Amino acid sequence: MDSNHTQIQAELDGLIGRTALVSDVVSPHRIAALAATLDTDAPADGTVPPLWHWVLFQDWQKWSTLGPDGHAARGEFMPAIAGMERRMWAGSAVTFHRSLRVGEAVERRSSIAGATLKQGRTGTLAFIQLRHDIGPAGETAITELQDVVYRAADDPAVSAAVPEPVPPAARTRSVMPDALTLFRYSAVTGNSHRIHYDYEYVTGVEHYPGLVVQGALQATWLADFARTCRNQAPIRAFAFRARRAVFQGKALTLAAIDGPDGLDLTLRDSSGAVCMAGTAR
């Protein structure tokens, strides 16, 4: 590792332990809006399905404070890393101790649990691991370990696709990530990252071939499919890892197969490449 990498790693080490606290109420309107976006119905008993908590704790910053990519400017809780202008959600491991309920007042207690510099297939990457404890004051209903990856603006945006056949025993479902769904999901989750709705920006500035499907939306589709495969049995833990970018306009294939630790899940693009892998138990 060269001296620049050593300096960046030292700066990352200094982030560990940084904390933040935000509050919200589980709004029936947001839950209903997400249900409509997913073309389904919200649970009649007022419980919040797995991963639907991502509509909470939205951070609406003034337009003048946003970065060119639409994200809130770094430097407060989430760091600014010199030479790494792009930021993406790489994966999460979520434990559900109990379901949130519509109308509950909740908090998200966040901390930076880890920060590591790595060499990836597309260049140097910085991984920030966040821990979120979510629930009413004094209680944790959901624990989420979230990995956020930073990369340089000029690193290649898309890795080569390597098709992987769906196992013959897998159950499958097809979903279509059209531009309207991406826009509505960004709106209901308060996500202003321009790669999900601004075609001129995503193709002209970040050099992707089209609008990028939110990793959170992909994971939510997988979690919903897992519940269907498990006959609506509760999901106690869900983990996912993004492998490559997914783009709007072509059908995606969700696949589920029983594994040693629960249900093994994958999301494939139209080329057959696995773009996200996960587990539900």
- Choice among 8-22, 164-178, 189-203 with the minimum mean pLDDT: 8-22
Q: What pLDDT is recorded for position 9? A: 75
The pTM of this model reads 0.91
How many other C-beta atoms are found inside a 10 Å radius of the C-beta of residue 205?
A: 14
Instruction: Name the band, by pLDDT with cuts 50, 70 and 90, for residue 156.
Output: low
Interval 216-220 mean pLDDT: 98
Q: Is the pLDDT of residue 220 over 80?
A: yes
Q: What pLDDT is recorded for position 74? A: 61
Q: What pLDDT is recorded for position 117? A: 86
The angle that helices 179-189 and 28-37 make with each other, rounded to 10 degrees, is 170
Q: Is the pLDDT of residue 201 over 80?
A: yes
Percent of the chain beyond pLDDT 90? 70
Q: Is the pLDDT of residue 1 over 70?
A: no
More confident call, 259 vs 129: 129
Interval 180-198 mean pLDDT: 96
Contact predicate 81/115, CB 8 Å? no
Instruction: Name the band, by pLDDT with cuts 50, 70 and 90, for residue 176.
Output: very high
Q: What pLDDT is recorded for position 72? A: 77
Contact predicate 240/220, CB 8 Å? no
Q: What pLDDT is recorded for position 12? A: 78
Instruction: Name the band, by pLDDT with cuts 50, 70 and 90, for residue 155.
Output: low
pLDDT digit string (tens) for 110-142? 999 988 888 766 678 889 999 999 999 999 999
Q: Rounded to whole angstroms, how far apart are CA atoms 16 and 22?
A: 19
